Amino acid sequence: MTITVGLQDSAALALGAGILGTGGGGNTYIGRLKLDRQLQLSGKPCPVLTVDQLSDDTLVVGVGMMGAPTVGIEKIEAGNEVARAVQALASHLGREFDALVINEIGGSNALEPLLSALQLGLPVLDGDGMGRAFPELQMDTFSIGGVAASPMALGDCHGNIAIFERLSSPLQAEEWARNLTIEMGGSAALVMSLMTGAEVKATLVRGTLSLALAMGRAVLQSREDKVEAPAAVVARLGNGRVLFEGKIVDVERRTVQGFARGRMRLQAFDIPADEMEIVFQNENLVAWRGGDVQCCVPDLITIVTLEDGTPLGTEMLRYGLRVAVIGMPAVREIKTPAALEVVGPAAFGYGDVSFTPLPGDLLPAAP
């Protein structure tokens, strides 16, 4: 079965990717405009493969944009920086790629690989390396699973390209590429995690592109049906629950060290003393209510507007928004002991927060 993503799917995909972005991964409104434009130009949908359709000796590579979402909504892109970086890496290797991999299924980083795949005439895989979005490069199942960070390519909107031919570790990739991304103006095209078909089969979080589409479609449907609240639909499809409903009463946000960092405070509608506080680094990290942790990384904390379930990136937060905070359990691949070393609360500087997983998993176990 070959599935495709076309113009009729992009609204749902953008919505679902925004939900799985947990605040980060890049603004999906802009991401959707770009994808729609490319779908119109290409005149055909983007082919999507399941990873099992790949033979073990194919060559694939992960793609996305790197940087702060606060920069991504302002900085004008060339539109083909990811494709150019893929081509530069292919030329460096002297070998073409067989498919593109979505590094993170959250935010516009779920859409960018489809756009680039259309430009390059390649399929994308149904899956990603996180089952959500995370702010740093070492925080994906490819790196955690032992896939080398190099060779890696970074490109800017002017066509400038850097290839990191050899890097000591995924953490070094993060540090060096973050630094160059800042030099490139705060956002850059990232081509990282070169894998054979066998390697991507061993490390991919499968089915997350389909999940994003399904979530988006369900929210769009709920807007028409007006039976179930959109936030409840999201929680149901994500095997999670609505943690809080209220108004954003304070946002503190800075774009520092290449990230959108900050915290927000939310107040319940009827009980002003009932407050939730959420900290973020591009993505929402930890949510406290009355001093108690309600949800933390790697589980998903997604904020959607109350009236129609539109997910809010951390770049869009502002005083007065009426929202629901949804907690969803992470995919099982990022809850292993090895993964928690990299994506647990301590990895984000919250060593005092212990990860008590929400029950269940974002996706059912593979058959």
Region near a second copy per CB under 8 A, out of 123-131, 161-169, 195-203, 314-322: 161-169
CB contact at 8 A, 278 and 284? yes
Q: CA angle 172-177-179, nearest 5°?
A: 100
Strand, coil or helix: what is 200?
helix
For a second copy, give the closer residue by CB, 74 or 183.
183
**How far apart are CB 162 and a second copy at their closest, in Å?**
5
**According to CB under 8 A, which one of 167, 213, 297, 363 is a site residue for a second copy?**
167
Closest CA to 92 of 56, 61, 46: 61
| Minimum distance, C-beta of residue 325 to a second copy, in the bound complex (Å) | 37
> In whole angstroms, what is the distance from residue 292 CA to residue 277 CA?
10
The verdict on 308 binding a second copy (CB under 8 A) reads: no
Residue of 95, 158, 318, 322 interacting with a second copy (CB under 8 A) = 158
Residue closer to a second copy by CB (options 160, 267) is 160
Segment holding 300, helix H or strand E: strand 300-305
Whether the link from the prior residue into 298 is cis, omega within 30° of 0, is yes
* Interacting span for a second copy (CB under 8 A) from 140-148, 156-164, 272-280, 305-313: 156-164
CA angle 28, 147, 107 (to 5 degrees): 5
Looking at residues 65 to 94 of the shown chain, list those that interact with a second copy (rule: CB under 8 A): 88, 92, 94
Q: Which stretch binds a second copy (CB under 8 A): 35-43, 139-147, 168-176, 340-348?
A: 168-176
User: How far is 66 from 84, CA to CA, in rounded Å?
Assistant: 15
Interface with a second copy, residue 175, by CB under 8 A: yes
Q: By CB under 8 A, tell whether 159 contacts a second copy.
A: yes
Residues 329 and 128: their CA atoms lie apart, in Å, by 16
Give the contact letters, 215-254, x = binds to a second copy (CB under 8 A), - = no: ----------------------------------------
Measured from the CB atom, the residue of 165 and 341 that comes closer to a second copy is 165
Write the CA distances from 203 to 98, 130, 257, 333, integer angstroms.
17, 10, 29, 8
Interface with a second copy, residue 160, by CB under 8 A: yes
Strands 292-296, 300-305: pairing is unpaired
Residue with Cβ nearer a second copy (73 or 163): 163
Q: Mapped to the 3 state alphabet, what secondary structure does 103-147 carry?
A: CCCCHHHHCHHHHHHHHHCCCEEEEECCCCCCCCCCCCHHHHCCC
Shortest distance (Å) from residue 97 CB to a second copy: 17
Number of residues engaging a second copy in binding (CB under 8 A): 21
Question: Which residues contact a second copy by CB under 8 A?
Answer: 88, 92, 94, 153, 158-168, 172, 175-176, 179-180, 183
